[in-house]
Amino acid sequence: MIDLYTATTPNGRKISIALEEMGLAYEAHSFNLRAMDQKKPEFLKINPNGRIPAIVDRDAHDFAVFESGAILIYLAEKTGKLLPTDAKGRSTVFQWLMWQMGGLGPMQGQANVFLRYWPEQIPSVISRYQNETRRLFGVMDTQLSKSEWLAGDYSIADIACYPWVAQHDWSGISLEPFADLARWFAKMGERAAVQKGMQVPALPRPAAAVVETAQKLIMT
């Protein structure tokens, strides 16, 4: 059983999609980020960086993993799913996974912040992050014009990118100029595991189990 500590964010939903795709049993504990659940001392025992998502693998002596990319790799290696076994195949998946972690997520995240949450509208800043997100969408579009999936076969790289692309409207960006990205996006959205994972969590709620899990980690 996996304990998933998450919220209604793209990074959180990467993990719920992966868990659904891999058929792993898990219990989702939703954090209220505005209430700063993720900064509470008991959760910092699980993730010292105080961010979601994080998991605790009960079947591996309550082993905790934080950072969404690291969690995806851990789960793929644990199950032998959604990650090639050959060196070149693994490297290709890791390249696109790191691309998402270092590029698409941070840039689109900043587009969201300055468009939706910043106390004042700064057009030049909004344009800067939206344009960089469009450039990154273009990188995906080019890759997907040559391959059905980002890294050849369907993998954790696709899972990492999908919840971010799913926020394109929220970021003020249209998929219309990106035909192959739009094709990939629609195909991803047809997958039952993706549909289910995108609904986890449905609404923020207290994650009471985090206290018990943190106590276990302190004792080990």
Asked if CATH classification 1.20.1050.10 holds for the domain at 87-191, the reply, yes or no, is yes
Q: In this model, does residue 220 exceed pLDDT 90?
A: no
What's the pTM value of the predicted model, to 2 decimals? 0.91
| Reported confidence tier of residue 216, pLDDT bands at 50, 70, 90 | very low
Provide the Cα torsion 6, 9, 11, 13; round to 10°: 70
Tokens 């195909």 sit on residue: 187
Does this chain's domain 2-81+197-219 share its CATH topology with 87-191?
A: no
Indicate the domain borders of the chain.
2-81+197-219, 87-191
| Reported confidence tier of residue 203, pLDDT bands at 50, 70, 90 | low
| Reported confidence tier of residue 202, pLDDT bands at 50, 70, 90 | confident
Asked if CATH classification 3.30.465.10 holds for the domain at 2-81+197-219, the reply, yes or no, is no
Percent of the chain clearing pLDDT 70 (strictly above): 92
| Reported confidence tier of residue 215, pLDDT bands at 50, 70, 90 | very low
> What does the pLDDT read at residue 9?
96
At residue 98's C-alpha, the angle toward residues 33 and 139, to 5°, is 105
pLDDT digits (tens, 9 = 90+) for 47-62: 999 999 999 999 999 9
Q: What is the 3-state secondary structure (H, E, C) of the chain?
A: CEEEEECCCHHHHHHHHHHHHHCCCEEEEECCCCCCHHHCHHHHCCCCCCCCCEEEEHHHCCEEEECHHHHHHHHHHHHCCCCCCCHHHHHHHHHHHHHHHHHHHHHHHHHHHHHHHCCCCCHHHHHHHHHHHHHHHHHHHHHHCCCCECCECCCHHHHHHHHHHCCCCCCCCCCCCCHHHHHHHHHHHCCHHHHHHCCCCCCCCCCCHHHHHHHHHHHC
Q: CB 163: neighbour CB atoms within 10 A?
A: 24
| Reported confidence tier of residue 188, pLDDT bands at 50, 70, 90 | very high
